[in-house]
Structure 1
Amino acid sequence: MADYGHELLFGTFVTPRADAPERVVALAQIADQAGLDLVTAQDHPYQAGFLDTWTLLSMIIGRTERIRVSPNVANLPLRPPAVLARSAASLDLLSGGRVELGLGAGAFWDAIVANGGPHRTPAESVEALEEGIAVIRGIWGQDGPSVRVNGKHYQVRGAKVGPEPAHDIGIWVGAYKPRMLRLIGRLADGWLPTLGYVKADQLPEMNKLIDDAAVKAGRAPEAIRRLANFSGVFGQAAGGGFGGGGGGVSGSPADWAEQLAELALTHGLSAFILAADDATTTQRFAVEVVPAVRELVAAERAHPRTPAPSPEPALSPETAPVQEAPDRIVVSGEIPGLGLTPTPDDGTRLSDRTLWDESERPVAPRIDEERKYSRHERARGQQLIDIHDHLRQELAQVRDLIDQVEAGMLGIGEARSAINEMTLRQNNWTLGTYCESYCRLITTHHTIEDASMLPNLRRADARLAPVTLRLEDEHKVIHEVIENVDRALVALVAGEGDLKSLRSEVDLLTDTLLSHLSYEERSLVEPLARYGAH
């Protein structure tokens, strides 16, 4: 596969110089202000001239507004995986979901040994990395209530789970050899090489090793993001570059953009991390190169040179079948292979008003019933059901509040105040980011504005576009229904309304919300398990 279809990310790779700490942080602030997505720092704990990477990343989080951070890459031999997992999760919680985890098996073994770490052979490094990933995911709560890893290099016997990070932290592994690439395909969320160590003509073979291992493990190759560190110089004549085996670009911003776009479209790279320690290069990259790369890639994706064959046509609200069809997602009962059961719509309706035609709802693509899911993937699907169950509970509370008002047990003003405190009232349905915002709300109590579950699912699988667009439209309708409930409460307080009108609006909210939540679960639980929300 040439282009894996991921959203493009752009970032910087700063040198954590201990003799210029404020300059390092200032470079991160410039990247944040310029609109880049990511700032990373190398992790060499044995290097006396470098700042400690986790301390630096914590300071960067505190001095920036929105940019994500990651070690590039964390030195596993000198950072015990259980401690590393809790460090990453803690910073992710404190930052509201702005941490990713670049991870490496280690190098410079004499320096590692000199600082109290082990000396590992290449084979042992692969073993230790696999065990380390198991420990990290276990601490994050992706494999059960306690962590038990009885490995050759790491033994964890019943460690408590937690804290759970604010979002699904990506584990991006820096590696080059075949055994390590196969491990990435089986276990990691991303591959993070440095161009220069890898030539462009080697990328197809290396991608294939990752893809084949992913498929063998029951994963989609698209589940693994392909990132790359690179260097660049503005102004010099374009030449050499990645095609010639170099690790950098040169020439005008347009030259940079063409070379990076070609890597995205031909080799599937979707995150470009520029090694830059000066403000001017960082700003020019963000302002002059990044928008051009996005435009080139978007144009090619919209009109690909060789359209990829699709096993089934995309569905739209106009063409979606009303009756059960062979390509329709399972609408009731347990999802095959996933072991999760979306909450069914029992068909009960309390209102004589209808705001949409449920028969026109698009259906999600057919599920691969032979696919096997990891515990981590099942947890991603279960999270949507859990979120919806909480909303259903709150809806029941709304109805109970109305009953209490009618019985004279609660004042109208108190009822309105209670409803306004509820999650369903606080979420922004209009923007179609309900589920994403709510996940952030229950973990960090605020929304990350640059994240959106539904657009990310569309990017992961274009066949989901009709369903996700329909869900966004329904979010707008539900937002207005909730506003009408509030208006009815206001009218009641002012003596201009009555309980009958209020009940009518709450009945309509019950019908629309419960129908919508059921539709969303049966449409998205499996795609969320497969692709995640980011």
Structure 2
Amino acid sequence: MADYGHELLFGTFLTPAADQAERVVALARLTDQAGLDLVTVQDHPYQARFLDTWTLLSVIAAVTSAVRVSPNVANLPLRPPAVLARSVATLDILSGGRVELGLGAGAFWDGIAALGGPRLTAAQGVDALEEGIEVIRAVWAAGGGAVRVDGHHHRVRGAHPGPAPAHDVGIWLGAYKKRMLGMAGRLADGWLPSHAYAGLDALPAMNAIIDEAALGAGRSPADVRRLYNIAGSFTGSGRDFLRGPANVWAEQLAELTLEQGMSAYILASDDPDDIRRFAAEVVPAVRELVEAERAGASTPAAAEPPRTAGEGTRAEPAASPAVVPPARTGDRHPALGVTPTPDDGIRLSDVRMWDENARPTGPAPDPARTYTPRERASGQHLIDVHDHLRQELAEVRRLVEEVTTGAMDPGVARSHINTMTMRQNNWTLGVYCESYCRVVTTHHTIEDRALFPRLRREDPRLTPVVDRLEEEHHAIHEVLEGIDRALVAFVAEPDGHKDLRAAVDLLTDTLLSHLSYEERELVEPLARLGLD
């Protein structure tokens, strides 16, 4: 089996618990804020303790901005295909093309029958699914002729097609048995099994059935994306699948992509810490390993061009912002091939939490030193994690803007902000890199020790820089506390919007300045000291 070359996707598989509805939506927002690609939800309409999946997905699409949504997988016996097709198309239009359709033949027939659905055999369920796919695609073909499907289980006689989805919605089948796998190869855009039911040992044979069916239908096996619902733990020795440190997860998932063709990994977890770690530590490492292998192990992969320090974060202020020349500019590490995000010098607040010109500088890099692809990845991973925080900063600014314009309750905004990585991070202890940058040291687990003490120990010349970074972590903590106080005060103070906007401007200045400084000083040492 081989890599099919699909773009990698990563997402979450959330439990739609009705008694924790707000938490489910918050986890979906966290998935979006963390930069993952998908939010998926199981669909068991006969479960009284679950929220309705399609209603929940609609709410999730409304409160997120980038993440795609999908049932995992839709229960076709209880969702008539013509109506389901229009529901999918409608949400895809309203969300700007962010809907995919995970689809299943159905199971738990007692529950289906209890809600008035048909009681089918397994073979009949497969037949009904094939007819349903035909109906769905015909309804999506807006502008075509009347929809006519005269199946044994699904009959549509002269329905007008439409509306068309905003993009080519993928139909991903949850399939395990031979007939369903063959249908995935012939008709589907993706195959969506769960590790619990399709273990690693079973994947090669299942993939082979899909490939053979695709070729028999005149398709390429690569026409069928391979997705995988996964679960695991970040504790353990790493000997078992997804039971160990983040770097073990990354290596195992990258191997699945390169050897079994799996290209989308959907984490079944309702734990926000697991979701954050998956996004911040596992995902960048999997991408790096797969990209490096695809590009050829002997050719160092080109570093992804970093975003500018203000991209997606700085709102246009009402008055001209101050411009503070950064203490140092320029790329100190041309030989590394990784460019730290520069400080653009724009300041929105008149308050200064520190003297930027007093920041110490670490040792100059050796211009003659060369770096391996893995070392380059170590440097780039710090930037990738920081980019996640920059995205969260943009989300903070958006939430505060909604509060000040009356579109959101301050308490709701506080709740959202408190789920973010930047708020959960223990800045006061100066261990940001311990908690969120483990992936930069691919071969060394630092679960039980902070990165900063290690940098001091392995290169004492970095001690002034590390001490300064820890001081700035304390200051950032105070700024974040200031935003929380401003949100509380906004309720009681008529003029509180000014203080609230001032607080978020100060956070913007301090966080972006700090992240640029940390990258400038630590990207090269992490590459030089963090491996082997």
In structure 1, the partner of 2:126 is 126
| Counterpart in the other structure of 2:499 | none
Q: Does residue 297 of the first structure (1) align with residue 294 of the second (2)? A: no
* CA shift for structure 1 position 139: 0.4
1:110–1:220 CA distance, 2 compared to 1 (3 A): same
Kept in 1, the 8 Å contact 2:142–2:162? The answer is no
DSSP-derived class of the 1:32 partner: helix
Does structure 1 conserve the Cα–Cα contact (< 8 Å) formed by 2:34 and 2:279?
Answer: yes
Q: Which amino acid aligns with 1:156?
A: V
Q: Where does 1:55-74 land on structure 2 (aligned, <5 Å)?
A: 55-74=55-74
Contact 1:11 1:38 in 2 (8 A): yes
Mapped contact 2:18–2:51 kept (Cα < 8 A): yes
Is the Cα contact below 8 Å between 2:143 and 2:161 reproduced in 1? no
Deviations 1:135-187 (A, max 9, x none): 00000007932211000000100111001000000000001000000011110
Structure 2 CA distance, aligned partners of 1:218 and 1:270? 22
Specify the code of the residue in structure 2 equivalent to 1:193. Answer: P
Question: Is the 2:44–2:50 contact (alpha carbons within 8 Å) kept by the matching residues of 1?
Answer: yes
Equivalenced residues, count: 298
Q: Aligned equivalents of 2:198 and 2:286: distance in 1?
A: 21
Which structure 2 residues correspond to residues 370-519 of structure 1 after superposition, within 5 A?
A: none
Tell me, in whole angstroms, the C-alpha distance in 1 between the residues paired with 2:200 and 2:268. Answer: 18
Hey, what's the Cα distance between the residues in 2 that align with 1:199 and 1:31?
25
Residues 105 and 128 of structure 1 are in contact (CA less than 8 Å); yes or no, is this contact kept in structure 2?
yes
Confirm or deny that 1:250 pairs with 2:237. Answer: no
SS of equivalent residue, structure 1 residue 149: strand
Offset of residue 240 of structure 1? 2.3
Partner of 1:29: 29
1:96 paired with 2:96, answer yes
Partner of 1:524: none
Q: 1 CA distance for matches of 2:262 and 2:111? A: 32
- In 2: Cα distance, 1:29 partner to 1:90 partner: 21
Q: Which residue of 1 aligns with 2:351?
A: none
1:268 aligns with 2:261: yes
Equivalent position of 1:285 in the other structure: 278
Structure 1 runs of 4+ aligned residues shifted over 4 Å read none
Aligned to 2:215: 215
- Quick one: distance in 2 between partners of 1:265 and 1:26? 33
Question: 2:29·2:60 contact (CA, 8 Å) conserved in 1?
Answer: yes
Structure 1 match to 2:522? none
The 5-angstrom pairing of residues 164-179 of structure 1 reads 164-179=164-179
Letter in 2 for 1:67: V
In structure 2, C-alpha distance between the alignment counterparts of 1:287 and 1:261, rounded to whole Å: 16
1:154 partnered with 2:154: yes
Distance 1:275 1:34, change over 3 A: same
Identical residues among aligned pairs (%): 67
- CA, structure 1 residues 72+295, in 2 after alignment: closer, same or farther (shift >3 Å)? same
Q: What's the counterpart of residue 17 of structure 2?
A: 17
The Cα offsets for residues 216-257 of structure 1, whole Å up to 9 and x where unpaired, read as 11111100000000101112221222xxxxxxx111110110
Unaligned runs of 5+ in 1: 242-248, 306-534
Q: Secondary structure at the match of 2:233?
A: strand
Residues of 2 paired with 1:49 and 1:303: CA distance?
Answer: 49
Q: Relative to 1, partners in 2 of residues 1:143 and 1:135: Cα closer, same or farther, differing over 3 Å?
A: farther
Indicate if the aligned counterparts of 1:253 and 1:288 stay in contact, CA closer than 8 A: yes
The TM-score, its normalising length taken from structure 2, stands at 0.55
* Correspondence for 1:322: none
- Per-residue CA distance 1:297-328 (angstroms, 9 max, x = gap): 011111169xxxxxxxxxxxxxxxxxxxxxxx
Measured in 1, the distance between the counterparts of 2:76 and 2:247 equals 38
Partners of 2:237 and 2:32 in 1: how far apart? 29
1:200 positional shift: 1.1
Residue type of the partner of 1:232? G
Contact 1:140–1:163 (CA under 8 A) maintained in structure 2 = yes
Instruction: Report the AA paired with residue 6 of structure 1.
Output: H
Deviation at 1:201, TM superposition (A): 1.8
Quick check: 2:191–2:224 contact (8 Å CA) kept in 1? yes
